[in-house]
Structure 1
């Protein structure tokens, strides 16, 4: 898949999706998106290369990278960094280009009409009837393809989600829906929440978030639905290092996920991972910000 010299940008979605994000992380995210589109959806995960383009140190980029991955703004795919919407937009463009090439390769409408043969004769009636009977018999004996009667829960969600005055790509929403179900969110809770949410947006509105944003930010928990059970998290050193890296960049501590801030007697972070100034002037947030 080739890179793009330009691409569609959605300013409102970018601003809404980065609310609460520190300035330097937000600016780096904008440049990373440009690089992902330029690289055809797969940006080499090379710390030296990316930090050089951003004009920052490798250490700084490593911290920003961890924050963007933790916020699910970029994803690691093998040796590359990618973004769900970028992949979707590039695939859509590739299909459109393939369709245009296919249409351009076809001959004009009347050029492929066969010319009548001068010695054309009709088949004999007996032979025609035998051939027709044989075709009908073969069609009757051909087994029908089995059809799946199992409905996809996402189709019901997509039909219930309110119409939006603006882009609302379906493929990233399907990925977000599947991720929510995979981590233990009941489908019934999502459906109850989206029905309640749709009543607030009876008409298309630009203030209605994209379905992908609504799912990724767990907004179904705001609609009176039963809160989804949180998956069991292994609080090992890797887990706490990610939390500390995010907090050192944003100076925000998510109490809902990590407990009390470093420096508090009830802090759950292992002491050997803490640095001397960890927790100083950090804001305790009791609800995560996307």
Structure 2
């Protein structure tokens, strides 16, 4: 029959350490620890011992064997640790439990255990749950291909926000990308907005509005440009885009004549 002893429980373990596996390869050491009055008032040896206790607790559901000799051997300490300061300040609290089994659970991994795990800390002998493949819409794929991406950008997160838009908003979001990319070129030190925030924060609306405003201003210039082009039989593709009769011509169709573009030559210095 296993002998009974006292286990020590790390305070608030469940609130700060969340694991799916019993033997995680690492623990969370929260920065808030430095602001804790208990931590500040402890001596250096007790602070080190607190970290050791957290590492041991990660292998035993938040519990630490109340066995200084065992902790000394386990953590390769030079002297027998004094657990009383950690108990007095409330970092550790006593719990009655069966010790022999618990202490065995808190043992360090053997070399064989370590060899069975890959660098991610997962055991290759255990079945791996397959992730459900995300099916992206054709419209989103077009958006994702055009959007300026960074290595840490999540396609799935962006798609989750994209699905919240209606068809008109999706089209507006896609149309805003060229204006956003042009803006980034003027701000080389500016960080690219994550695609999911570009959508969720509706940043695309501002850039799309800028396009509409620019198109409206440009619309007032077409009669003047056409009058010049007809009079001089010239057209500046570099300034006005493809000429009448050419694919991609931006001139409103209601302003064009059937003869526009016939016999016109290219003039890079045409007046605006």
Aligning the two structures, in what range does the TM-score lie when normalised by the shorter sequence?
A: under 0.3
Q: What's the TM-score, normalizing by structure 2?
A: 0.27
Tell me which structure has the larger Cα radius of gyration.
2
Q: Structure with the greater relative contact order (CA < 8 A, sep ≥ 6): 1 or 2?
A: 1
Q: What's the TM-score, normalizing by structure 1?
A: 0.25
